[in-house]
Structure 1
Amino acid sequence: MELKDYWRTLRRRWKVVILCLLLTVAAASVFTFSATPQYSSSAQIFVSTSPTDASQAYQGSLFATQRISSYAKIVDTRKLASRVADDLGSTYTPDELRDEVTATVDPDTVLLTITATDPDPTTARDIAQAYAEELSNYIAGLETPDGKKRPLIKASIVDNAERTTTPVSPQPVRNLGLAIVLGLLLGVGVAVLRELLDTSVSNAEDVGEVTEAPILGHIGTDPNAVKVAPADVLRDVTPWAEAFRVLRTNMQFVEVDRPQRIFVVSSSLPGEGKSTTAVNLAITLAMAKQRVALIECDLRRPLIANRLSLDGAVGTTSVLIGKVQLADALQEYADTGLQVLTCGPIPPNPSELLQSVAMEKMLGELRDQFDVVILDAPPLLPVTDAALLASQADGALVVVRHGKTTRDQLRHAIERVEAVDAKVVGVVINLAPARRTGRSYGYGYGYSYGYSYAQDQVSGGDSTKQARDERRQGRRKRRS
């Protein structure tokens, strides 16, 4: 990964970084502010010999330096801890005292520092002082030769232990600072790891790794859109409705040599929004004064009749088995001019019907009567229906769900289409997060510059172009 890839990863997964940071800081805060304050106190011992001349002084200093490390080890012995426990009374056991005391030697010196740590500052002082006194006496006993009264090495207390009022732990500033650094590093690491392991389709680069087919649209999320009739919600000036107008504009450049075009709308797996995309694309095309037919070819799990509040008793299956004529089965949706053919009775053999001669004949009739025909097909991976339809149409429009559809799933879906000598005319990324950039469309965009649905209907053009012209006119008026 290059530096720009890391930056892109952090922008896409900043929530992961923030979550790791918050969790780390929260854990550090709980640990810091729930921990019992600990106080420490230190006593210092100077180890020396009793030389009679300069040469003996030098040798004695070397001897003391060599021996002082051994004295530091004695501090951790159980025997010395027992002596200190006897001095302090029955407050602590020898094992508890050994856990609270440490001994350090300053490099290249004969100074030994004994440090005691305890929740009570007074107790910490008493333990450190008792250890220093007992160690001094213990060393004197060890270093006194048999038959002699004076020890060869003397351990003198040069700094008595004092009671401190500032705890040595916990240290909130240090702990929280380390938690912030650790949380950021952990968050960045998790974000990069997730990026490396993530195989879902979420941008143009992901699609480009799978297919050369262009991305014709990015459809965002709008929870309120599914609660309103499609004809009404697509008349509103919202980013969601604008996304379908952009998709409509891009579809005009697909198969431009054919005056009548048939497109299959499908996806890799269920739940990726292919039916919603097919319905709204067809309505948006019809609103631009094109002759459009929406044909439900998902004969396994039909949804269009319920979504558009149409009669689902007669539809595609009825026409294919010759029960009714195509013209009699088509239903006009609202006042959009869109002609809809719902599923009809669910058949036991959907694949056989979709590759029948009757299906080929019906598609021929649709091509003669309409400018654009949208076939809402089943997903490509579970069944072969969509691939069979794509072989009879002018191409397939594959819908992928942002952050859920994987590159392998998209690749296999496209391979299904290409296996029947059909082609993918484009990809639509559905349920994409909102883009908060200077070029994005706000809800007040159309209202601010006089955009109206009626103007778009009269011109038959895309709302983006209309709004851009209105914007230029507004600037000219302000200048004048």
Structure 2
Amino acid sequence: MVSFPPRGGTSSVEPALADPQPNGDPVPLIRQYLRIAFRWRYVILGAVAACALLGIVITLLMTPKYTAYTTVEISREADKVTSFQGVQSDASIADQEFYQTQYGLLRSRSLSERVATQLRVVDDPKFFEKMRFASKSPIFQTVNGRYPAAGHKDRLRIAGEILLKNLSVDPTRLSRLVDIGFTSPNPELSAQVANAWADNFIQINQERKIQATSYGRNLLQRQLALQKERLDESQRQLVGYASDQQIINLPTSSGNGTTSERSIVADNLAALNTALTQATTDRIQAEAKYQQVGRAGASAEALRNQAINSLRQRRAELAADYQRLMVQFEPGYPAAKAIQSQIDQLDRSIAREEGRVSGSLQAEYREARERESALQAKVDQLKASYLDLRRRSIQYNIYQQEVDTNRALYDGLLQRFKEIGVAGGVGVNNVSVVDPADVPQSPSSPRLMVNLIVSILAGICIGGALAFALEQMDEAIADPVEVERRLGLPLLGTVPKVSADMTPRDALLDRKSELVDAYLAVQTNLAFTTEHGVPRTFAVTSTRPAEGKSTTALALATTLVRGHRKVILVDGDMRSPSIHHLGGVDHNRGLSNFLAGDDNISTLTFEMSDLGFTAMSAGPIPPNAAELLTGTRLSVLFERLLETYDHVVVDSPPVMGLADAPLIASRVEGVIYAVESHGIRSSLVKTALARLSSANARIIGGVLTKFEARKAHYGYGYEYGYGYGRDSKAKA
């Protein structure tokens, strides 16, 4: 069931994100865009056609240009003939940064000016003419067909900019190949510039490395001289300090081939300490030997002495002989006494020899002890000297470390200098030409098909933008659903537009016409607006004239009569009356007469027999219709008419600019608002509805008049019921 706004106001409906369909569901955006494109299709087609034509014209007027490409390979690392490293470091650790640097060098200004100089285009007027460069500067004013020499520098800069502007550097993805392209109106010039660009890039790359090596060599040479001075100064400082402190060091060689220095005091101390150790050992041995002397003949030296051993052996022999004699003779026997005398003499000799050995051991012990004491004293003296030398050698070692450091730096720089000297004469390069540029046989631009496609796409975009802008600016009510969405009015029905060869009255007389079916639907919806069905008094109005309000009032009166109701149609438009024309009478008597005080209603009406109801014309046009409507006479008229008729239908004047419609609307039970499809702005309708609401009028709903389904946003469902079962013959 249709809901209606309360009396004295209109309903407020929030706009949806997408236009709703007739069944209330939101329309998909794609369908909405297609609807906009279909509605403004001629605008879009016109924009596409204009852009396509413009693209063709521009393409035909463009000068053909030729592009030549040279393919080069840029290696990450240069091929090195020697094992020496270059002084110049890598551009970056990351390969991407390295290659981006190379691409930037290919687009450098210095390279472009070098190419321009090599190809001799700086002073060539034909080059600037080919490249379509025109300037009124004095440096481009030819004298005897040549440019002045004064502007050579500026022309070189401009020529380089021209070359850069027409240059393209296109790296091949996931490879080390780069395409260097140049575009110009002359194919030979394009090939020459592309090849020259690659060759000069290789030359600059080599020169930059050579310059870097030369710069490094000069820098190392200066550093070598400076380091040599530092080394000499540190050595003089070391020698001077050693002389002042009497520090004498002797060079020594280690096992790894290096040479170091050792002080004499340390060597002497080491030697004396070794001698002291040996002397101590000798003293201990001599002391042990001496202590054994106390036992006569028991010393080891005495036992090892050959003379003593010979004497003892002789004594033993004599003692053996003496014992043999004692077996036969007495001790006084002369032979025995002689042997005893020899034995005594041998004992005295052995005692003397042992005494001599003992004295020798004592002397040896005493000498060893004195020698140990002397060496100990000398070692103690050298220890003190060595400690003093260590104290004085602290600063000496500092100077020595400085000398060693300076010598190491000097040797490293000297070695680096020699390596650069060898590597500097070997040319290395990491850029090579893969495919030189050939003279192009066909122009690279303009391309008609590409330009045409681009023009068509641009036309579609421009046309779409225009269509969208026109759609946004269009405030016309194009669909029945917009009556409620935009205006907040319940839709009572949609009335199709009557063909030009048929009047609304003729259409109403044909009960099979689409107009009759449409207003029957409106009447059906009116039956649900009040508790007693169709309002007994209602007015039909619109925003402005010629929107179909008079036709709507006439049609509703006709459909109500056909529903066996007694109806009177009152022409309330006393400024521009129209009902009397439908009845074929004049408007000498009518509504204005009653409002002026004439109570004879029967003389103010006339019958419309063909349509079956009674009508009241507007009457004579008063000086001010609003003054007649402000009184109570209009309400009295409705009360008296309702005594005779079931329904009073008022054809009200339009709302905008007039006070008549709000005055009439406030006296009737409800107002039916006629809205012309595709003909009135929704903002004007909202303003008119606001005026009616301020007059405390009850707006029952809206009727969309003059509707054409083919112009609707959603052209389905509206004309099906009106055209179903009819053909052209039936309509005829």
**TM-score, structure 2 as length reference:** 0.51
* Cα displacement string for residues 204-233 of structure 1 (whole angstroms, at most 9, x for unaligned residues): 654445787642111122351xx5343312
* Cα displacement string for residues 295-317 of structure 1 (whole angstroms, at most 9, x for unaligned residues): 11122233334566542333221
**Would you say the 8 A contact 2:529–2:535 is kept in 1?**
no
Specify whether residues 245 and 119 from structure 1 end up closer, same or farther in structure 2 by C-alpha distance, changes over 3 A only: farther
Q: Does 1:118 align with 2:184?
A: yes
Q: Does 1:160 align with 2:436?
A: yes
Cross-structure match for 1:84: 119
Deviation at 1:340, TM superposition (A): 2.5
* Cα displacement string for residues 361-381 of structure 1 (whole angstroms, at most 9, x for unaligned residues): 322232223232211112334
Cα separation, 2, equivalents of 1:451 and 1:422? 42
Report which structure shows greater RCO (CA 8 Å, sep ≥6).
2
Deviation at 1:115, TM superposition (A): 0.4
- From the two aligned structures, give the one with the greater helix fraction: 2
What SS class does the counterpart of residue 264 from structure 1 fall into? strand
Instruction: Show structure 2 runs of 5+ residues with no match.
Output: 1-16, 19-25, 93-97, 129-158, 216-423, 710-714
Equivalent AA in structure 2 for residue 52 of structure 1: V
Cross-structure match for 2:105: 70
Cross-structure match for 1:463: none
What SS class does the counterpart of residue 399 from structure 1 fall into? strand
Cα separation, 1, equivalents of 2:35 and 2:585? 41
Cα separation, 2, equivalents of 1:350 and 1:181? 59
Match of 1:218 among 484, 494, 497: 494
Deviation at 1:20, TM superposition (A): 6.8
Equivalent AA in structure 2 for residue 118 of structure 1: S
Identity %: 24
Q: Does 1:233 align with 2:507?
A: yes
Q: Does 1:41 align with 2:315?
A: no
Cα separation, 2, equivalents of 1:108 and 1:257? 84
* Cα displacement string for residues 267-315 of structure 1 (whole angstroms, at most 9, x for unaligned residues): 2344533223223333444455543322111222333345665423332
**Would you say the 8 A contact 1:216–1:250 is kept in 2?**
yes
Deviation at 1:265, TM superposition (A): 0.6
**Would you say the 8 A contact 1:266–1:377 is kept in 2?**
yes
* Cα displacement string for residues 153-191 of structure 1 (whole angstroms, at most 9, x for unaligned residues): 475433111244565445566666667777777777777
Cross-structure match for 1:345: 620
**Would you say the 8 A contact 1:84–1:134 is kept in 2?**
no
What SS class does the counterpart of residue 127 from structure 2 fall into? coil
What SS class does the counterpart of residue 115 from structure 1 fall into? strand
Cα separation, 2, equivalents of 1:433 and 1:96? 61
Mean alpha-carbon deviation: is it higher for 314-323 or for 344-353? 314-323
Instruction: Show structure 1 runs of 5+ residues with no match.
Output: 454-480
**Would you say the 8 A contact 1:24–1:179 is kept in 2?**
no
Cα separation, 1, equivalents of 2:103 and 2:457? 39
Cα separation, 2, equivalents of 1:296 and 1:61? 98
RMSD (Å), alpha carbons? 4.5
Equivalent AA in structure 1 for residue 184 of structure 2: D
* Cα displacement string for residues 322-347 of structure 1 (whole angstroms, at most 9, x for unaligned residues): 45832223233362223222223221
Count of residue pairs the alignment pairs up: 450
**TM-score, structure 1 as length reference:** 0.74
Larger radius of gyration: 2
Pairing of 1:429-444 with structure 2 (within 5 A)? 429-434=704-709, 435-437=715-717, 440-441=720-721, 443=723
Specify whether residues 91 and 438 from structure 1 end up closer, same or farther in structure 2 by C-alpha distance, changes over 3 A only: same
- From the two aligned structures, give the one with the greater strand fraction: 1
Cross-structure match for 2:700: 425
What SS class does the counterpart of residue 121 from structure 2 fall into? helix
Equivalent AA in structure 1 for residue 70 of structure 2: A
Cα separation, 1, equivalents of 2:699 and 2:72? 85
Q: Does 1:13 align with 2:36?
A: yes
What SS class does the counterpart of residue 669 from structure 2 fall into? coil
* Cα displacement string for residues 85-141 of structure 1 (whole angstroms, at most 9, x for unaligned residues): 539964322254443222345578765532012355555334423444455556566
Pairing of 1:210-359 with structure 2 (within 5 A)? 214-224=490-500, 228-236=502-510, 237-255=512-530, 257=532, 261-286=536-561, 290-306=565-581, 309-322=584-597, 325-333=600-608, 335-359=610-634
Cross-structure match for 2:340: none
Deviation at 1:240, TM superposition (A): 3.6
* Cα displacement string for residues 234-277 of structure 1 (whole angstroms, at most 9, x for unaligned residues): 23444344322322333344446279822111123445332232
Deviation at 1:423, TM superposition (A): 2.0
Specify whether residues 75 and 271 from structure 1 end up closer, same or farther in structure 2 by C-alpha distance, changes over 3 A only: farther
Cross-structure match for 1:459: none
Equivalent AA in structure 2 for residue 84 of structure 1: L
Specify whether residues 446 and 115 from structure 1 end up closer, same or farther in structure 2 by C-alpha distance, changes over 3 A only: closer
Equivalent AA in structure 2 for residue 231 of structure 1: R
Equivalent AA in structure 2 for residue 376 of structure 1: D
Cα separation, 2, equivalents of 1:68 and 1:259? 84
